[in-house]
Structure 1
Amino acid sequence: MAGAIASRMSFSSLKRKQPKTFTVRIVTMDAEMEFSCEVKWKGKDLFDLVCRTLGLRETWFFGLQYTIKDTVAWLKMDKKVLDHDVPTEEPVTFHFLAKFYPENAEEELVQEITQHLFFLQVKKQILDEKIYCPPEASVLLASYAVQAKYGDYDPNVHKRGFLAQEELLPKRVINLYQMTPEMWEERITAWYAEHRGRARDEAEMEYLKIAQDLEMYGVNYFAIRNKKGTELLLGVDALGLHIYDPDNRLTPKISFPWNEIRNISYSDKEFTIKPLDKKIDVFKFNSSKLRVNKLILQLCIGNHDLFMRRRKADSLEVQQMKAQAREEKARKQMERQRLAREKQMREEAERTRDELERRLMQLKEEATMANEALMRSEETADLLAEKAQITEEEAKLLAQKAAEAEQEMQRIKATAIRTEEEKRLMEQKVLEAEMLALKMAEESERRAKEADQLKQDLQEARESERRAKQKLLEITSKSSYTVRASVNSSTTALSTDLPSFNLISESLSFDFKDTDMKRLSMEIEKEKVEYMEKSKHLQEQLNELKTEIEALKLKERETALDILHNENASRGNSKHNTIKKVS
């Protein structure tokens, strides 16, 4: 009896010592979080806590994923967390990921956080080559990813090499072409520059709108066998069930859209798909692992429920979310417009300031040049005056020499010459003296003219000096008046504009009326029409890029998926028309 009581006491004490909480680590696409969970919590309790922490309301797309024995599994909402086959060591790790994908991301994804999480997950799947993406589309998607991260392209900030450390393209694409990282960056940047004005959420949505048309987007693949034992692949996605060859994950052999499936039954390891059309044979397949069968069934049920839900009117909760999203989008649009106006006004003010500074510098340079010209004119005038004085003195000296020569000539003529020889010599000397006197007279006249010309040049130089001084005074007075007037007018314009802008900003109201909603709806419809018009231009750009880089392709490095994609493209097959054909 005593032993029984002692054993009962020891058991109760052990029971009391068991911890009431355990630690859970949640890994999202861009963060990690840790929570302290109670032992009694079910999967829904933990899932709701994570969604509240993230501010996520579109919970039906997501789930908590964990791995057990190399098999992916999802936390069940109605089952205790610790009752799952999760690792026993703490912290218990779960990955918060998208479990189901939308058919149309733009129409179904309402919250910005939902769009962001899908963008990060799809981007990672493309880079990890879990989703096949052709090279030209990879470059376009990379440009939208850069726009989402860096904002608008600025050549002064985003210089050559700024994408060197970024992972933007699948390694398969990089290895397929003889192109350097600089060549890839150049092509990505060329498209990145065209996305100017798109906010982060808009760039991420454009990324998803392109990615959702890829053949492997949102498809979960499972290895199966049919009744004959042939190995096949089962693909489960938002549109239905698809059967693939193991070597071709792009084009299904046969598809069963959700609206054409009457029933999916699961017994032991065998699945049975019963089409709505009774003339079509029932398709049976099986998988070797029980956990995989349960996962297939979960994905079938969840995707089918969402498929039917999309074709019904939105619930009150979704309507409220969409209304709030529209209001938030309108508010952000108005805020962006306000910031754009402020930026434009600031840029205009800076341009005005730069123009005034440039004009001031120009006037200063003109004043400096005029001052230098004045100094040169003064120096020239001094040189001309000095030269005129020297010329005048030379002219006087020549006139004196001419007078002396004339006197010598007169003296020679007065001298009596007795002999003929002396007479001849005298005549010769007289002739030479006359020639010398004539030359002296001509030189004297020329020097006199040169002196007169130098005096005239001196007068002109002094007149130029006077005009230069007058121009310098005009430029100095004009520059000071222009700068003061421009600065005052710019300051007055800015000071008068900004207060009125603030009054307008303060009078803004976010009380949206029906007319505002109709106007917003019309704008959204207009944007859709514009998007459809741009799609053709986008496809042309993709084709141009494909043609441009085709010459650099290394054919021997093409993968099986590359070859299959090229064959589908040459036949005009796409994700959607392939499903229509096989269904």
Structure 2
Amino acid sequence: MLRGGSQRPINVRVVTMDCELEFAVLPATTGKQLFDQVVKTIGLREVWYFGLQYIDSKGLVTWLKMNKKVTAQDVRKETPLQFKFRAKFFPEDVSDELIQEITQRLFFLQVKEAILTEEYYCPPETSVLLASYAVQAKYGDYNPDVHKPGFLGHERLLPSRVLEQHRLSRAQWEERITNWYAEHRGMLREDAILEYLKIAQDLEMYGVNYFEIKNKKGTRLWLGVDALGLNVYEFEDRLTPKIGFPWSEIRNISFNDKKFIIKPNDKKAPDFVFYVSRLRINKRILALCMGNHELYLRRRRSDTIEVQQMKAQAREEKALRHAERAHLAREKQARMDAERKRAELEKRVKEYEAEARRAMQALAQSEKTARDLEEKMKRVEAEAAERERLRLEAERLKRQAEESIAQMRSSQTASEEEKRMILARTREAEEKAKQLEAEAAKRERDAEDLQAALMAAKKQQVEDAKALVNATSTDKFHLMEANMNPDAMQHSQELGRPASDAGSSSSSSGVGAGVGVGVGAGVSGGTEVRRGVYTAGVQAGPTDLSAGDGKGGPSWEVGDRDAIAMKNDRIRQQLESLGAELDAAMDPEKVSAFDKLHRLNKSQGRNKFKTLQRIRAGNTRQRILDFESM
């Protein structure tokens, strides 16, 4: 115990689930003043769930009392004084009761830590599902281009027990987590945190504080204190409660030294009495019972103005976040569509450019062909002139031959030798004339063919020129230019705006009007007090506190509630499939006692809420007698 003999400030360090805070407090500072300073610093308003933990001089975890000075409590002497800011009480249903994002995040981190350190037992397949929500909460939507194999290599996502029990590599575990993670696409990080908690609250050990007790027979048992009431467990099985007492059945709680007495509303029933090994354990049990019972009543009354304001603000902020996310999604889709159109248009431009190049090449080839044909045509025309000259020469020779024949016929005196020479020259001239005529006819046909080819080449040249004009026409590019114009693309100025800007000042301002539960308020006088009493604010006789004043309160009862994961058939089937797969990969020699108990409960169709319904059946008297006989 610390004694503040002077007014010199004392250094205090408070560790929350995601940050460390340091304060300098006066020796007269009470637990509540320190607590209020912490919640004001972190912007928390749902203060009734939380408390400050410390390690006392005997090495035991203890909750700081709000109504006593910090220095007057049994805090281990060190500099600075060490405290942990943790959830002391848990809601019945996280989706209905946790309002602020910071509250949800603190619960998420604490529950996640409890699962990873195996304070809460979690089946292997459920561990994988929860890990996928934790990844969604940290990384956002799955992107295969960013979240490549190995990106979870340094993350702590599964309990060590699960990793050691199964013959699977880290890559195989990552693959199974990523398969589920990919299905959460589009889920907000805040929603992923809430989904994690909704599944985690269905775990049997979630939110339960266990204390070792004995009944009058001396049988070692466990007492579980949680948001719904008190449960009794066999010493070897902390998963399955055997007897339960809801808060609505409890009228008075007290202890005398190591004896703890619970008086039920049913006055015909005997007192529920058990024993603990240390007095301080009874004090802790009483403080937890008081706080949980107060919250139980609070849930069944109308919300205070402060809570109504917080819920309204939370709804507005959530609607704003969803609207901003929808806006961002539309912006993202618009950008993707614009990029897709740009890519398509760029592809079309490249196609048009290729088409234009081909048209230009074809036109150049056509022009070259036309030039070649024109040169050939010139040669043909020259040859035609030569043919005309040869034809005229042939005609001249023919006339000369005819004249020679005529002379020969008219001259009777010509010798035979001269006649033969004249005839030979005549035949030679005729043959040469025939050859010239045949060659002229052939060249005429070649000229006609060449003329036809030249006409076809000119026609092709005209068509290629038209194709080039068509390929390079501006009509094909006006749509592309309109779409690729930066002025035509919408850019929202709000795209880079943080989702938490709106309403951030109001969500972090102020602290709730006092702590909802006076921790340790029922025990006065410090460690010297060996008795404590807490009486529920109800009338004599059986009273159903679950009804309250008929206003507010949870919208479900234990008997009607199913596990969240079981409500979704697809998730249930996937869990069963993954469970069978992991069972096949489990090392039989490493199966834990909790694994065996979980399998037994599962094979008998039991879950947390069906078990609670069963153990609270019957009258209070019979359940107390059953407890005494354990």
Q: TM-score range by the shorter chain?
A: 0.7 to 0.9
Which residue does the alignment assign to 1:538? 571
Which residue does the alignment assign to 2:589? 556
Change (3 A) 1:319 1:17: closer
**Aligned-residue offset at 1:472:** 1.9
**Aligned-residue offset at 1:59:** 0.6
Structure 1 residue corresponding to 2:209, chosen from 220, 236, 239: 220
Residue 262 in structure 1 maps to residue 295 in structure 2: no
Write out per-residue CA displacement over residues 304-330 of structure 1, whole angstroms, 9 at most, x where no aligned residue.
Answer: 111121112212221222122222222
Count of residue pairs brought into register by the alignment: 496
State how 1:55-204 maps to structure 2 within 5 Å. 55-68=43-56, 69-204=58-193
Residue 26 in structure 1 maps to residue 59 in structure 2: no
**Aligned-residue offset at 1:106:** 0.9
Which residue does the alignment assign to 2:40? 52
With normalisation by structure 2, the TM-score equals 0.70
Matched residue of 1:82: which SS?
helix
Which residue does the alignment assign to 1:470? 466
State how 1:282-361 maps to structure 2 within 5 Å. 282-361=271-350
Rounded to whole Å, the distance in 2 between the matches of 1:458 and 1:564 is 98
Letter of the 2:159 partner, please give it. P
Rounded to whole Å, the distance in 2 between the matches of 1:253 and 1:350 is 63
Write out per-residue CA displacement over residues 104-126 of structure 1, whole angstroms, 9 at most, x where no aligned residue.
Answer: 01111111111110011011111
Rounded to whole Å, the distance in 2 between the matches of 1:190 and 1:373 is 55
Letter of the 1:49 partner, please give it. Q
Rounded to whole Å, the distance in 2 between the matches of 1:372 and 1:179 is 63
**Aligned-residue offset at 1:253:** 1.9
Write out per-residue CA displacement over residues 368-425 of structure 1, whole angstroms, 9 at most, x where no aligned residue.
Answer: 333344456667778999999999xxxx9xxxxxxxxxxxxxxxxxxxxxxxxxxxxx
Letter of the 1:147 partner, please give it. Q
Write out per-residue CA displacement over residues 408-458 of structure 1, whole angstroms, 9 at most, x where no aligned residue.
Answer: xxxxxxxxxxxxxxxxxxxxxxxxxxxxxxxxxxxxx99999998788667
Rounded to whole Å, the distance in 2 between the matches of 1:556 and 1:389 is 102
Checking the alignment, whether the CA contact within 8 Å between 2:124 and 2:582 is kept in structure 1 is no
Structure 1 residue corresponding to 2:610, chosen from 550, 557, 577: 577
Write out per-residue CA displacement over residues 84-139 of structure 1, whole angstroms, 9 at most, x where no aligned residue.
Answer: 11122210010000000000011111111111100110111111111111122212
Rounded to whole Å, the distance in 2 between the matches of 1:295 and 1:484 is 75
Structure 1 or 2: larger helix share? Answer: 1
Checking the alignment, whether the CA contact within 8 Å between 2:249 and 2:265 is kept in structure 1 is yes
Q: Percent identity?
A: 53
Matched residue of 1:253: which SS?
strand
State how 1:233-272 maps to structure 2 within 5 Å. 233-272=222-261
Rounded to whole Å, the distance in 2 between the matches of 1:325 and 1:190 is 32
Write out per-residue CA displacement over residues 14-33 of structure 1, whole angstroms, 9 at most, x where no aligned residue.
Answer: x9993521000000001001
Matched residue of 2:325: which SS?
helix
- CA-based RMSD of the aligned residues comes to 3.7
Letter of the 1:111 partner, please give it. Q
Change (3 A) 1:447 1:60: farther
Letter of the 2:43 partner, please give it. G
Change (3 A) 1:355 1:16: closer
Structure 2 residue corresponding to 1:231, chosen from 207, 220, 224: 220
**Aligned-residue offset at 1:535:** 2.2
Checking the alignment, whether the CA contact within 8 Å between 2:4 and 2:71 is kept in structure 1 is no
Matched residue of 2:602: which SS?
helix
Runs of 5+ in structure 1 lacking a partner?
A: 1-14, 397-444, 502-507, 510-530
Rounded to whole Å, the distance in 1 between the matches of 2:139 and 2:337 is 24
**Aligned-residue offset at 1:468:** 2.6
With normalisation by structure 1, the TM-score equals 0.76
| The 10-residue stretch of structure 1 (287-296 or 567-576) with the greater mean CA deviation from structure 2 | 287-296
Structure 1 residue corresponding to 2:580, chosen from 531, 547, 550: 547
Checking the alignment, whether the CA contact within 8 Å between 2:373 and 2:454 is kept in structure 1 is yes
Checking the alignment, whether the CA contact within 8 Å between 1:64 and 1:94 is kept in structure 2 is yes
Rounded to whole Å, the distance in 1 between the matches of 2:300 and 2:147 is 45
Matched residue of 2:473: which SS?
helix
Checking the alignment, whether the CA contact within 8 Å between 2:209 and 2:226 is kept in structure 1 is yes
Letter of the 1:554 partner, please give it. D
Letter of the 1:107 partner, please give it. D
Matched residue of 1:551: which SS?
helix
Structure 1 residue corresponding to 2:477, chosen from 475, 481, 485: 481
Change (3 A) 1:556 1:492: same
Matched residue of 2:28: which SS?
coil
Which residue does the alignment assign to 2:599? 566
Matched residue of 1:273: which SS?
strand
Change (3 A) 1:450 1:31: farther
Letter of the 1:39 partner, please give it. P
Rounded to whole Å, the distance in 1 between the matches of 2:583 and 2:311 is 44
Change (3 A) 1:449 1:24: farther
Checking the alignment, whether the CA contact within 8 Å between 2:566 and 2:572 is kept in structure 1 is no
